[in-house]
Each structure stands twice: as C-alpha cells, then as structure tokens.
Amino acid sequence: MKARICIALGFVLIGLALSIIFFSQIELPIEWRMYLRASTYDHFGPFVISVEMVAAGTALLFSRTKANFALAIFAFTALLDPFFNLTGIFTSLVPTYATLLFVVCAILALWISFTNTFDTGRIKLLEVLKSFVLGTAIELFINYL
C-alpha cells in the first residue's frame, strides 16, 4: 500500500510540476479567430500529457477500479509521442528531459496496469484497445491536426 501511494504521489507531483512549466510556456492567442486554427493546439501537447499523468496518479491514489484505464491512456500517449517523433510522423514539442520522464513513468504505468501489482485487477483487453486508440487519437489530434 505504501508503494502504491508513493508511486501515485510521484505521478501527481511530477505531472503537476511539468503542467505548470508547460502551461507557462503556452502563448494564448488574443484574437478569437486564432482558436479556430489547428496550429494553435499543437503547443498544448506537452501540457496534455502532463495533465494525463496527474489524472493517472490521482486515479491510482483514490480509485482502484479506474486506475488501470487512466494509467494505460497516459502510458500510450506518453510512449506514442516519442515514437511518432522518431518515425517522422510529426515533430514533438516535448523537451528531451520531459520525454525521458514520461517514458520512464509510462513504462511503470503500463507495468502497473497490466499486472495485478496493487490489487487493482488486471486490465481487460477491451480497455487496452480503448486506451491505445484514445492515446493515439489524442496524439494525432494535438500534433497532426
């Protein structure tokens, strides 16, 4: 139980710190027409992954039944970002230090969600597919719109 709380708090604290850093770097447009352009939303990519990390950590901390799904969504989004960047599908705006943090935390999140480590129950195949599709959709929406 202490390990679950430590990992969950680690996810929340890292996610909050990165969220603050990434949100402070976003330049919000003044004119409302700029929000209709797709190029406005690519700057939100690192912030969205950070918020997903906070949500996954919170789910692991408080809700055992929904934790695996939230962890899997975060993990797939965090792992697909550098994968799409390396394959040349799009250029990621996530800095290298954050990418490394996200990848390490995503591997841990997948391990937790695929095993019954903290008595959260193993994730079902349908939930794995849903989380993979949702993570891919988030990445493509933010970076490839």
pLDDT score of 35? 67
**How far apart, in Å, do the first and last CA atoms of the chain sit?**
41
Cα radius of gyration (the chain): 15
Express each pLDDT in 28-75 by its tens digit: 777 777 766 666 677 788 999 999 999 999 999 987 777 899 999 999
Q: Are 84 and 49 in contact (CB under 8 A)?
A: no
Q: Is 92 helix (H, G, I), strand (E, B) or coil?
A: coil
- Per the prediction, the chain carries an average pLDDT of 87
Q: What pTM, to 2 d.p., does this model score?
A: 0.88
Tokens of 109: 């999140």
- In percent, the amount of the chain with pLDDT more than 90 equals 46
- Mean pLDDT, to the nearest integer, of 114-122? 81
Query: Position of tokens 């929904």?
Result: 66
